[in-house]
A and B are shown apart, each in its own frame.
Chain A
């Protein structure tokens, strides 16, 4: 069913996400320029901006992905958009609270703060800590509202967990199809896994968030630092990964539109998402490889789960995407460039991630710049591109127009070329052992930070051109040609 209410929700979410992303990119360029020595920034300010940059980027990408998924679910199932707006309100309130804690609060304990931070050695007032924690809690509540609504809708429409995950379709396919039943479309699996794992993520985030807030008010309440570390990483890892898997829905629907081919649910797709459902969460142990106080079995599980989590991606989603595009005669528009380029970025980031998730390699790479290297690849050249690609495919189809060749080259060079330079500088500095989260880096950090700053500026120019082009396409009259 077409849904104007759903489309409105989607564009509000998408626009907000991209706007926050743009602001956070400027903050990021400032940070890299500071590390390059181009702009003097004192460490306190550096860490405050870094805190906002981290949480802002994740929330921006999540908002954009949640909006896309909401629209795609709304096309299949009746949803109350008041809940979507309420969740949106929580997100905005949370972002505002986080901004206030940083400017003027000067909160600087970063978004995956590890207890006993942010209670020891702070250079900001404790109200800023409170504002930060409350901001995070508000975002978490908005996220859980979204997850509960979508989960409720999917459970109701497809018949419980069994139907939502297409268990009968996989294990008793003949009986299933002969009864005339259909499994959920591919994008609904992205929605189901996001909502299900998101619910768990939200719960975990609320536990650690409440514990920290209670400790802020009553410091006599003890918290175990290793417990806090586990919960913090379970929450942070999951929400960052889910931001990626949300955006995949845009690929599942967008690439078929670009290639004029169909993409259906298969038993392999269903099983791939079951694997994702499980491995995304338990892979979080890979953040604690260098915590020898962890129980050893957790380290083993972390490594194998991190490896296995890559299989659904490369065997089903990316492989399926390549099959859709291969020999389809698909031309490159901004929409298709971004969707396909995002898959390439996801694979490259994944290679960096799998290497870091290998424990003997982690000894050399943990908490070096390799870590931001791999997740900037995922986010900048993966999630962001899926999000923009989905937006452009819709804009291009609505106006029945594509961008000029020169514009596509400019945007491509900027976002792919500049982006590649930007992440490359992270990888090589990480391999050289330059630590992450250093306001002042040892050599050769500043040299590569200079390269990264140039890359980031080129990227931002390409991104800005792309945004203007998007606005231009959106302002064109709607084409009479029905899709």
Chain B
């Protein structure tokens, strides 16, 4: 999923609704005061529905996200091409060209400290990332559908030149 702006819009809408609702409910000018027992008896009744709504939304959303988990490289197509990525202070060794339209697996590791292998698409948005760890190899399964130049940025603080650690590859 490469749609951080969609996430941002969801955030803005839901946050705005929450802020407006909470301010509305607290405004002393809009509502006549009521004894606490009346407010709580209504409130507790409503809360039962609110609880079930929140719980159902949480569980259903959780279930819906599972197909999009990125952990299936191990069971991925045997024909997927493997590319080795080695991160170190302060550079990445990456392939120069990655094929378009086919699943590829990046085998990512590090020579020294934790780094983050962050892939930014030609439009500047993140399309995938995985941690680069010393002593471990992480497998990132990706299929590139858009041709262009992809930029790699380090996405885990690794030292003084963390912000300068960059690489790139092309998808023809």
Measured between beta carbons, the chain B residues less than 8 angstroms from A47 are 157, 160
Q: Is B91 an interface residue (CB 8 A)?
A: no
Assembly CA distance A307 to B50 (angstroms):
15
Which residues of B lie under 8 Å from residue A292 when comparing CB positions?
Answer: 70-71, 73, 130-131, 138-140
Nearest chain B CB to A283 CB, angstrom units: 13
How many Å lie between the Cα of A431 and that of B4 in the bound state?
A: 5
Asked if A43 and B161 make an inter-chain contact with CB atoms under 8 angstroms apart, the answer reads: yes
Contact B28–A365 (Cβ < 8 Å): no
A427-B8 Cα distance, complex, nearest whole Å:
7
Q: Does A438 contact B (CB under 8 A)?
A: yes
Most chain A CB atoms below 10 A, which of B89, B134, B156, B164: B156
What interface size band does chain B fall in? Answer: 35 or more
Let me know if A299 is at the binding interface, CB within 8 A.
Answer: yes
Identify 17 new A-B residue pairs, CB closer than 8 A, beyond the known A261-B36, A364-B3, A366-B129: A47-B160, A114-B113, A121-B112, A121-B158, A123-B159, A291-B131, A299-B69, A303-B65, A304-B58, A319-B47, A331-B28, A347-B15, A360-B65, A363-B129, A427-B11, A440-B163, A440-B164
Known: A121-B112, A299-B71. A344 touches B23 (CB 8 A): yes
Interface residues of B in 1-52 (CB under 8 A from A): 1-5, 7-8, 10-11, 14-15, 18-19, 22-23, 25-26, 28, 31-34, 36, 39-40, 43, 47, 50-51
Using Cβ atoms and an 8 Å threshold, which residues of chain A touch B136? Answer: 225-226, 293
- Which B residues are CB-close (under 8 A) to A400? none
Residues of A within 8 A of B66 (CB): 300
When the two chains form their complex, are residues A367 and B159 in contact, meaning their CB atoms are under 8 A apart? Answer: no
CA distance A361 to B18 in the complex (A): 21
Do A311 and B54 have beta carbons less than 8 Å apart?
yes
Interface residues of A in 336-388 (CB under 8 A from B): 340, 343-344, 347-348, 351-352, 355, 358-361, 363-368, 370
Top 10 nearest A-B pairs (CB, nearest first) are A360-B68, A431-B8, A329-B33, A438-B163, A121-B159, A307-B58, A292-B138, A364-B4, A367-B155, A327-B34
Residue A39 lies at the interface, judged by CB distance under 8 Å to chain B: no
B residues near A370, Cβ cutoff 8 Å: 4
A120 to B159, CA, bound (A): 8
State whether A311 touches B51 (Cβ < 8 A).
yes
Interface string of B115-143 (1 = CB under 8 A from A): 01010100011101111011111111000
Q: How many angstroms between the C-alpha atoms of A358 and B67 in the bound complex?
A: 12
Given known pairs A367-B155, A438-B163, the reply for A361 and B47 (CB within 8 Å) is no
- Taking a contact as CB atoms under 8 Å apart, the answer to whether A290 and B131 are in contact is yes
Closest CB of chain B to A107's CB: distance in Å? Answer: 12
- Is the pair A364, B125 in contact by a Cβ cutoff of 8 Å? yes
Query: Contact string, A320-333, partner B, CB cutoff 8 A, digits 1/0?
Result: 00110111111100
Pairwise interchain contact B18-A344, C-beta atoms closer than 8 A: yes
Number of chain A residues close to chain B: CB under 8 A: 77
Known contacts A114-B156, A314-B54; is-contact A229 B4 (Cβ 8 Å): no
Q: Contact between A433 and B26 (Cβ–Cβ < 8 Å)?
A: no
Q: Is A108 an interface residue (CB 8 A)?
A: yes
Contacts of B71 in A (CB 8 A): 292, 296, 299
CA distance A363 to B52 in the complex (A): 29
Interface membership of A315, Cβ < 8 A = yes
Q: Which of A223-243 contact B (CB under 8 A)?
A: 224-226, 229
Q: Is the CB of B8 within 8 A of A428?
A: yes
Whether the Cβ atoms of B112 and A120 lie closer than 8 Å is yes
Which interface residue of B26, B34, B118, B128 has the most chain A CB atoms within 10 A? Answer: B26
Cβ distance B24 to chain A, nearest Cβ, rounded Å: 10
Residue of B nearest to A438 (CB): B163
For residue A377, which residue of chain B has the nearest CB? Answer: B15
Q: Is the interface of B mostly helix, strand, loop or mixed?
A: mixed
Q: Quick check: A225 and B58 within 8 Å, CB to CB?
A: no
Q: Are the C-beta atoms of A120 and B25 separated by less than 8 Å?
A: no
Q: In the complex, what residues of B have CB within 8 A of residue A315's CB?
A: 47, 50-51, 54
6 pairs, A vs B, C-beta closer than 8 Å:
A121-B158, A121-B159, A293-B138, A325-B25, A327-B31, A347-B15
What's the nearest-Cβ distance from chain B to residue A315, in Å?
A: 5
Q: Are the C-beta atoms of B22 and A435 separated by less than 8 Å?
A: no
Interface centre among A44, A117, A262 (most CB of B within 10 A): A117
For residue B146, CB closer than 8 A to chain A, the reply is: no
Given the known A-B contacts A291-B131, A292-B71, A433-B120, are A441 and B163 also in contact in the complex, defined by CB atoms under 8 Å?
yes
A467 within 8 A of B: no
Chain B: CB-nearest residue to A347: B18
Q: Which residue of B lies closest to A328 (CB)?
A: B33
Interface presence of A215 (CB below 8 A): no
Interface centre among A261, A330, A431, A433 (most CB of B within 10 A): A433
Q: Are the C-beta atoms of B153 and A121 separated by less than 8 Å?
A: no
Is there an interface contact between B134 and A225, defined as CB atoms closer than 8 Å?
A: yes
Most chain B beta-carbon contacts within 10 A, residue among A292, A303, A351: A292
Which residues in chain B, 93-111, are within 8 Å of chain A measured between CB atoms? none
A431 CA to B161 CA in the complex, in Å?
Answer: 23
Residues of chain B within 8 A (CB-CB) of A364 are: 1-4, 7, 125-126
Chain A, Cβ-Cβ closest to B90: A121
Q: How far is the CB of B73 from chain A (nearest CB, A)?
A: 7
Docked-complex contact A326 and B26, CB < 8 angstroms:
yes
Interface string of A103-122 (1 = CB under 8 A from B): 00000101000101100111
